[in-house]
């Protein structure tokens, strides 16, 4: 079995039909595999910290993953890609990008898929994933819309794009179902959570964070 044949039996190969009604091409499946690798782990993100706390208490691996999923579903974490999908869907053609971005700014809403607490000058994971999407779908109208959004956001000097925007672009170009980016994120990060859990199991001590009181004086 060569590498191309093995890919169809991989996690990406089994995940694809749950996300997209169109058959995968070897190229699109390779991009999905890359996305899963890029998203597998990222320091102590909120969901990873929660998963490590659960593992330190000797919760079983299923409970560890459920803990991570509970956090990753929030709109500020794994759910952020869904909002990026919504934004991109509003840009029905590249020419609408300035108006759509202006509407989000006027409402005082954060532009989904842009900005990151760690990467102030752009998320390298997002850059790589967008480049891979461009390779498999050059000239695609959804890719053109994404580039138009990028251009307008940069013109306004707003925060740079992150991996959530790249996931939304990938989902749009391939015709995936709504919320596919969040599913890809969760499946990928499960591997990371379990790796962190194994470290906590080996330590054998409870992860106990401390808190400092910052309220009004007592007494």
Just list the catalytic residues: 116, 164
Q: Identify the DSSP state of 25.
A: P
Q: Which two tokens stand for residue 68?
A: 């991570």
Q: Identify the DSSP state of 162.
A: -
CA dist 49 to 3, 38, 44, 57, 97, Å? Answer: 35, 18, 5, 13, 36
Which among 157, 158, 183 is positioned nearest to 170, based on CA atoms?
A: 183
Task: Give Cα 1 distance to the centre of its chain.
Answer: 31
Q: Please give the Cα distance from 88 to 70 (Å, whole number).
A: 26
Task: Give Cα 68 distance to the centre of its chain.
Answer: 14
Scanning 39-179, the segments in alpha helix (DSSP H) are 46-56, 61-72, 80-90, 97-106, 124-136, 141-155, 163-174
- Residue 198, classed as helix, strand or coil, is helix
**Helix (H) / strand (E) containing 14:** helix 11-19
CB-hemisphere CA count at 13 Å for 216? 1
Q: Which two tokens stand for residue 163?
A: 């991996």
């Amino acid at each position: 079995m060569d590498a191309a044949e093995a890919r169809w039996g991989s996690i990406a190969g089994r995940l694809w039909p749950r996300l997209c009604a169109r058959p995968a091409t070897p190229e699109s499946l390779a991009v999905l595999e890359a996305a899963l690798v890029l998203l597998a782990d990222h320091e102590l993100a909120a969901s990873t910290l929660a998963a490590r706390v659960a593992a330190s208490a000797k919760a079983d691996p299923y409970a560890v993953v459920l803990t991570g999923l509970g956090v990753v579903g929030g709109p500020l974490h794994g759910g952020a890609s869904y909002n990026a999908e919504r934004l991109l869907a509003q840009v029905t053609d590249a020419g609408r990008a300035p108006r759509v971005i202006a509407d989000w700014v006027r409402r005082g809403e954060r532009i989904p898929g842009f900005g990151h607490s760690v990467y102030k000058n752009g998320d390298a994971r997002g850059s790589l994933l967008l480049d891979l999407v461009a390779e498999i779908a050059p000239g695609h109208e959804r890719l053109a819309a994404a580039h138009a959004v990028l251009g307008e956001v940069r013109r306004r000097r707003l925060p740079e794009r992150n991996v959530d925007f790249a996931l939304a672009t990938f989902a749009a170009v391939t015709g995936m179902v709504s919320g596919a980016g969040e599913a890809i994120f969760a499946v990928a990060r499960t591997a990371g959570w379990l790796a962190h859990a194994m470290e906590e199991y080996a330590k054998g001590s409870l992860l106990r964070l401390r808190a400092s009181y910052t309220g009004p004086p007592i007494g």
